Amino acid sequence: MKELQWDEFQRVQLCAGTIIAVDDFPQARNPAYILKVDFGDAIGVKKSSAQITDIYQKEELIGKQVMAVVNFPPKQIGPIMSECLVTGFHRDDNAVVLAVPDKLVPNGTRLA
């Protein structure tokens, strides 16, 4: 494993945000949702594609806080432009479990 330098890690803006909208993404190669995540006034609302349909229903995602990288360049994913990377962990069955704060924090709070 290649070591990461502290200044490299500091460049990654990993922030908490609240999912405010979830839409189906039928054009995706693998089943996915389109998420709109509110990161507060300083960052705003960003869109992301998330392959989390195996274990999450749209209704349960609304209002959920997630952790996302907000300073990657936008990435074209099919017909949408993904503006952040919502993070999670792959289980043995390859389903993704979202990385979430265990207590509410203000949207836009950066990982310390």
Structure tokens at 34: 């389109």
What is the rounded CA–CA span in Å between residue 54 and residue 36?
Answer: 19
pLDDT at 7: 93
pLDDT band for position 88 (50/70/90)?
Answer: very high
pLDDT at 44: 98
Instruction: Catalogue all structural domains in the chain, each as residue range(s) with its CATH number.
Output: 11-98 (2.40.50.140)
pLDDT at 46: 98
Percent of the chain scoring above 90 in pLDDT = 96
pLDDT band for position 41 (50/70/90)?
Answer: very high
What is the rounded CA–CA span in Å between residue 109 and residue 60?
Answer: 22
Structure tokens at 2: 């290649």
pLDDT band for position 62 (50/70/90)?
Answer: very high
Phi, psi (deg, nearest 5) at residue 10: -65, -25
